Amino acid sequence: MEEHVGKKSNQLAPFVVLAAVTVLAFAFMWGVLFKRKKTSTEHNLDESCAATDDPPPAAPRQGINYEVFLSFRGPDTRKSFTDCLYQDLVHSGIRTFRDAEELRVGEHIGDKLHQVIQNSRIYIPVLSKNYADSEWCLSELAQMVKSKRTLAQRQIFPIFYDVKASDVKLKTGTYKRALHQHEKKYGSRTVLEWREALMEVSKLKAWEAKSRGHGELIKLIVQKVLTELKINYLNVSDHIVGIDDPVEQVTRLLEAGSEGVRMVGICGMGGIGKTTLAKVVYNRLSSHFENCSFIADVRETTKSRGLPTLQKQLTCDILSSKCIEPLNVDEGINMIRKRFQNKRVLILLDDVDHRDQLKALAGKHDWFGSGSRILVTTRDRSIFSARREGTPEVPDHYEGDWIYEVPELNRAQALQLFSRHAFRTISPPEDYMTLSKEVALTTGGLPLAIEVIGSFLCDKSKAVWEGTLKRLKDIPHKEVEKKLMISYEALEDEQKQIFLDIACFFNKSNRTNAFYMWDDCKLYPEYGIEVLLLMSLVKIGDNDELSMHDQLKDLGKELVRRENRKDPGRRSRLWIDKEALDVLKSKKGTDAVEALVLNNYTHGSDTALKIHNFTCGDFSSLSNLRFLQMHSVNFVGDFEHQFSNLRWLSWKNCPPDFLATNFHPRNLVVLDLSWSKITEKWKGWKQIDMAKKLKVLNLSHCNNLRKTPDLSAYKSLQRLILQGCSRLFYIDPSIIHLKCLTHLNIRGCYSLKHNSRHNLSFLENLEEFIMDGPSQKDDPMPESMEKLDTLDATRWNPRVSTVSQVNHKINPREYTSKCALHRLSTNSTYPSTGMTQSRGLPGVKAEHEDSSSNQVEWVERLPESVGYLESLVELDLSSTGITELPDSLGNLKNLKVLRIDGSCIRKLPDALGMAEKLEELHALESESLEEIPSNFECLPSLRILRLSGIAITRIPKLPASLTSLQIESGSTNTIPDLSNLVNLKELDLNLRIFSSTEPSHLLQTPNPGWIGNLSKLENLKLSLSNITSLPTSLGSLSGLKKLELWSCVNLKSLPLLPTSLTELSIRNCVSVKTLPSLSNLENLLIFSLIDTQVTKIEGFRGLVSLKHLDIQRCKIDNLKGLEQLTNLSTLKVSTCEFLQRVPNLSNLLKLRELRLLHCTNMFEIQGLEELGSLEELWIQHCMSLQRLPNLSNLKKLKVLNVSKCEKIHSIYGVETLNLLKDLTVYGCEAEFSPNVCLAKDRVLQQHWQVRGLFKNLSW
């Protein structure tokens, strides 16, 4: 048996040997191939067009957009320009993508990278000398061009790094040779696509790196990107408190990167901040969506204009085109459903109060494309059919509507907000601290109540404060109306009447016409509105629009209801159609009624009811009626002795037949007949002639009106509005008798004859004139409008054929010294194309350049006659081709604002020093500007001076009146003496010297000792390449809040810093080795230390308020004292290779984000397991780190990223982290606990991304 076995073994031996040899050979070949692959990978990484030292980003989830995609040639710019640009973009909050090797497959763009390019908004190719050598770079560029052609809102901003436009256009050999070589390998078809992409990019406006310093160029690029990304941004207050957590909660509920459609309702009582919160979230997400729409005031607009109007607005916003208003709600629903099914949209519906409104605008999720997100603000959560409270524990796959209840402000937040309104500071003064805390506490954390009561107490004595506090304590918290009544009761009777009028009728309306009524009723509106503004009971927005918060508006209406709950006819104001109609038809009105509105609209529909006829008897008991607004009605019969107190009559959709007699509202001051069917033969004209006090006549959009009536009877008329009267061809000559007329609007009156315009020349008191521009080439402008304050002629008239006529402006020569024009701008938008044009003055020499779609006017200079506009207040010459300014600017004695941003002006005239009232001069990005007059210090009123991107070599002495100064130049070699600017609050001084060829005696290294003189300074930013030290007097600036030291490359040390600092940023100060002790900076909130030689930071323990700490690329070897920063919310430490450990972090209980990156010698992180508030943990490229503690206590952790930490052998506790949404682990030999082997669907549900080598992990 043994012999048989031995014999068999001998027979098998050759096979065993052969097998062994085969295995060894395979292992050897595998080793060689692996080595080659590794070498090839490293080589390609260096050769790639967008390689980075950062860890490769995870493949993007579908639907998530990047804001910027960078394309560049690795060896050319990877470690220099592109890295600086990337860092600046990221630090500015711009989500920027840099290509990584892992996304590359073979020799063609992989699907993942293709998706990244498609999902990016802005493309920035850095076209360097060897860019075209890389087929990857060319493929990326071709994909960018393709995306720009096929996708909306995609833009390419090329940078010519060390090439010229001629190189990119293939006129020279640089790129031409590269394409020729590629053609041999890839064929003519592929190379043709690359060639066309280069040609198209060469036609775009590009930045040339050689024309300016890198720092300056990067700053311009970042500013440009930020500007482009903010197109869809909504305006929000600068004084928001306690918004961060709610924004994060709502953003989490929206899950912007996930599939499906999600709607979130933001609910709460009036004044809690629903709209503000929604706007902030909208602004954060809007750059990630191609199609966005914000629908404001849904509730009010539905009542006044009907739901089809809102459906039209929504459709126009999403489709970015003009749309026809649907005939009814059902047609609008079909229109939205059909057109939006494949569109990924972001929609904000503000103030929805009825389910019908939501059904009409966003009725079902399947109306919209996958990835769509809808925000709704409402007081009534019942409008949502399926809803769930928004909490982090809710599973991600929930498909219904989500509800987020806006919380009240906590005590600290309430006190801060209250202080901003009561004292205009962040915190109350010491002697008012106790009172302030007690008052803020009584508001219950309602932002509106805090704002109103704080504004009321502003500048009041302590006795008033104590009395108010005593009264507030007696009012239950839930009765917010009563709290607001404190401010209301402080008003005088006239102010109360104005308040109630705004609440019931004039919210979101222009105040001008209302002023006429209030003034004639002896309510003193100028003073009254000022009081309401100071007490935050009303605001005035753009275009003089009165605005009142919902809570205050509801308070006003409730006060009117309380006048008589049961009998509306005994109330002062009626605004509900049903009640108003009932009072009139039943003749139940009384002399208590002062104002009545009957819009004649049914809820949720834009279809008007039948025209109602009203007789004198219907109004007989309303003897004190002063305001009457009716729509689609008629007056029938004898109205003698009626409407004797009526001041305002709004009679829209007035029928052409006038059926009333003795209709003589003698005290009428405002008459609105807009959108009516009346003609010049309307019988009502003769009867209304009795209104001798009439101040406003609105005939806009009366399309049957071909001539204006005889206007001679209206001697007091001040405002005449004829806008949109498209058939109007003749203005009665009686208009010349309107000596009081100050406002005339004839925009949209395209049929108006030349001789009618000529009659306007006699309107000597006209102050505001709105028109479309001349209708004929030789159509003269009025020549004797001596008091003209505003001329708005920006609308394009399609009857005019040339741009010079479209942009027609007042001829200063014709106005001489009498003209009172206050605002003159050379910028306008050409409505047919959206192109920005330069609007010139007659007498301005212009060159015309024909293109396929436009005739573009490029203004070269202003005439001397512009100096005749002696009443001019603001002159805007931004982005024009004007190269010089006339000396006559010195005659503009009333000029307050001069803007020449982005212009070609080379020199400011000396005569500008005579503009004694000049307050602001803006010359940002004025690259051609070389000289500033030496007599600038003679401008006694100048407050704001901004000069950037300029070639100025010398800064003259500046006026002491300046409060804000920004100077950026790469051409001056000396720091100006600013010691006299004792009123300065903001200073941004950026004087960079990039040339190394200057004679050494010109490169001065002064110490700007004058900084200590600027005692009022609040914000200071210095980018001075040649200073070596800062004066010790810097520490004496007791009001300094923000200090930024950027690219002070020769600065070696800093003096003791002022205790008032709340933000400190030291960046690219590569010679700084030591910092002063920071122990005195108790108010510091933000501290950034980037690219310095600093080895240690002393005084950490004193930074008791610090919330954000960012340390990058420094020689720090310890962070002693860090453990004492108990308020820290964000901690980022990157590329600190000498740092071996961080202090015990267990005391940092408020820490929410921790990033430890590229700290290659760090071997220990103590206390990490105690950070119960931590939400994001990033540990990358910490090669010496051997272990992580058990993470099971980090219950709030949402993001965990552990990458390329080769010595980490275990990660425990992950299985208990229920909120974890993003898990990325790679480049680690990590051993997970057995319990982390969860079900596969759980992992997919949580969007975990786990890559790399694991010893104990299986699915």
Confidence of residue 832 (pLDDT cuts 50, 70, 90): very low
Report the pLDDT value the prediction gives residue 601, as an integer from 0 to 100: 53
Whether 358 is in a domain gets the answer: yes
| 369 lies in the same domain as 288 | yes
Window from 40-49, 790-799, 832-841, 955-964 with minimum mean pLDDT: 832-841
Alpha carbon distance 551, 958 (integer Å): 48
Evaluate whether 965 touches 984 at the Cβ level (below 8 Å): yes
Do the domain assignments include residue 416? Answer: yes
| Residues with Cβ within 8 Å of residue 1206, at least 6 apart in sequence | 1183, 1227, 1228, 1229
pLDDT score recorded for residue 1093: 93
Residue 710 tokens read as 């005889």
Q: Once rounded to an integer, what is the mean pLDDT over residues 692-707?
A: 95
Mean pLDDT in the chain? 79
Query: Is 57 in the same domain as 29?
Result: no
* Predicted pLDDT of residue 546: 93
Residue 839 has pLDDT above 60, yes or no: no
Beta bridge partners of 1099: none
Please identify, among 405, 430, 451, the residue that sits at the C-terminal boundary of a domain. Answer: 405
Residues 248 and 190 reside in one and the same domain: no
Q: What's the pLDDT at 257?
A: 66
Query: What pLDDT, on a 0 to 100 scale, did the predictor assign at position 232?
Result: 63
CATH number at residue 1253: 3.80.10.10
Report which of residues 880 and 55 the model is more confident about. Answer: 880
Q: Are residues 322 and 471 in the same domain?
A: no
Residue 1104: band (very low, low, confident or very high) from pLDDT cuts 50, 70, 90 = confident
CA 384 to chain centre: 29
Distance in angstroms (rounded) separating the CA atoms of residues 765 and 735? 12
Given 490, 512, 535, the domain boundary residue is 490
Q: Which DSSP category does 1001 fall into?
A: G
Q: What's the pLDDT band for 380 if we cut at 50, 70, 90?
A: confident
Kindly state whether residue 888 falls inside one of the protein's structural domains: no
* 186 and 298 inside one domain: no
Predicted confidence band at 230 (pLDDT cuts at 50, 70, 90)? low
**Average pLDDT, stretch 697-720?**
95
Helix (H, G, I), strand (E, B) or coil at 445: coil
Confidence band, pLDDT 50/70/90 cuts, at residue 190: confident
Q: How far apart are CA 641 and CA 759, in angstroms?
A: 37
Alpha carbon distance 965, 985 (integer Å): 8
Strand (E) or helix (H) holding 1177: strand 1176-1180
pLDDT above 50 for 1055: yes
89 and 22 share a domain? no
Mean pLDDT of 1156-1184: 92
Nearest to 335 by CA among 355, 298, 363, 374: 363
Q: In terms of residue numbers, what domain contains 391?
A: 244-405
pLDDT at position 103: 46
pLDDT digits (tens, 9 = 90+) for 232-263: 667 777 668 888 889 888 988 887 667 889 99
For the record, the structure tokens of 149 come out as 């052609």
Mean pLDDT of 412-436: 87
286 lies in a domain?
yes
Helical spans, DSSP H, in 760-829: 803-806, 812-815
Q: Give the integer Cα–Cα distance in Å for 735 and 716.
A: 12
> How far apart, in whole angstroms, are the C-alpha atoms of residue 740 and residue 718?
5
Residues 347 and 375 in one domain: yes
Calpha distance 1133→1144 (Å, rounded): 15
pLDDT score recorded for residue 23 = 45
Among 247-261, 419-433, 780-794, 940-954, the least confident range: 780-794
Spell 670-679 as b/e; 16+ CB within 10 A means b: bbbbbbbebe
- How many domains are there within the chain? 5
Q: Are strands 612-614 and 964-969 parallel, antiparallel or unpaired?
A: unpaired
- Tell me how far apart the alpha carbons of residues 1114 and 273 are, in angstroms, rounded to a whole number: 42
Give the CA angle between residues 134, 138, 143 to the nearest 5°: 145
Confidence of residue 57 (pLDDT cuts 50, 70, 90): very low
Work out whether strand 1042-1046 and strand 1130-1134 pair parallel, antiparallel, or are unpaired.
unpaired
pLDDT at 1007: 66
Contact 969, 951 (CB under 8 A): yes
Contacts for 20-28 with beta carbons within 8 Å, 24 or more apart?
A: none
pLDDT (0 to 100) of residue 1044 = 96
Mapped onto helix, strand or coil, the DSSP state of residue 851 is: coil
The answer to whether residue 795 scores a pLDDT higher than 60 is no
Residue 12 pLDDT > 90 = no
Q: Which residue has the higher pLDDT, 757 or 41?
A: 757
Task: Enumerate the H helices of 102-155 as residue ranges.
Answer: 111-118, 135-150
Q: Which amino acid is at 313?
A: Q
Per-residue pLDDT band for 6 (boundaries 50, 70, 90) equals very low
Nearest residue to 296 (alpha-carbon basis) of 227, 241, 350, 232: 350
Length of the chain: 1259
Residue 298 pLDDT class (50, 70, 90 cuts) = very high
223 found inside a domain: yes
pLDDT at 885 over 90: no
Locus of tokens 């990157």: 1134
CATH of residue 222's domain is 3.40.50.10140
What does the pLDDT read at residue 439?
Answer: 87
User: Per-residue pLDDT for 71 more than 90?
Assistant: yes
Give the HSE-up count for residue 322: Cα atoms under 13 Å, Cβ half-sphere.
2
- d(CA 708, CA 413) in angstroms, rounded, equals 58
726 sits in the region (left: phi over 0; alpha: psi -120 to 50; else beta) called alpha
Tens-digit pLDDT profile for residues 1202-1250:
998 988 878 888 888 989 988 988 888 655 544 544 433 334 334 444 5
Confidence of residue 623 (pLDDT cuts 50, 70, 90): very high
Residue 344 sits in the same domain as residue 290: yes
Please provide the DSSP assignment of 924-968 as one string. Answer: TT-TT--B--GGGGG-TT--EEEEEEE---------TT-SEEEEE
Nearest to 668 by CA among 625, 721, 731, 633: 625
Q: Is residue 1212 part of a domain?
A: yes
φ, ψ for residue 986 (rounded to 5)? -130, 130
* Range from 582-591, 775-784, 888-897, 997-1006 carrying the lowest mean pLDDT: 997-1006
CA distance 304 to 547: 16
Whose tokens are 């406006």? That residue is: 205
Q: What is the pLDDT of residues 980-996, one digit of tens each?
A: 888 899 999 988 654 44
- Phi–psi pair at 840, nearest 5 degrees: -100, 165
H/E segment holding residue 45: helix 2-47
Domain C-terminal end among 374, 389, 405: 405
Compute the distance between CA of residue 426 and CA of residue 422 in angstroms, rounded to an integer: 10
429 in the same domain as 341: no
Calculate mean pLDDT across residues 438-453.
83
Residues 3 and 97 in one domain: no
pLDDT for residue 41: 37
pLDDT for position 1100 = 85
Q: What percent of the chain has pLDDT over 90?
A: 35
* Residue pair 188/155 in contact by the 8 Å Cβ criterion: no
Query: Are 874 and 883 a contacting pair, CB within 8 Å?
Result: no
Identify whether 142 is part of a domain.
yes
> Average pLDDT for residues 136-164, to the nearest whole number?
86
Same domain membership, residue 344 and residue 302: yes
Mark whether 36 and 96 lie in a shared domain: no
Q: How far apart are CA 1215 and CA 1218, in angstroms?
A: 8
1175 falls within a domain: yes
842: Cα separation from own chain's centroid: 36
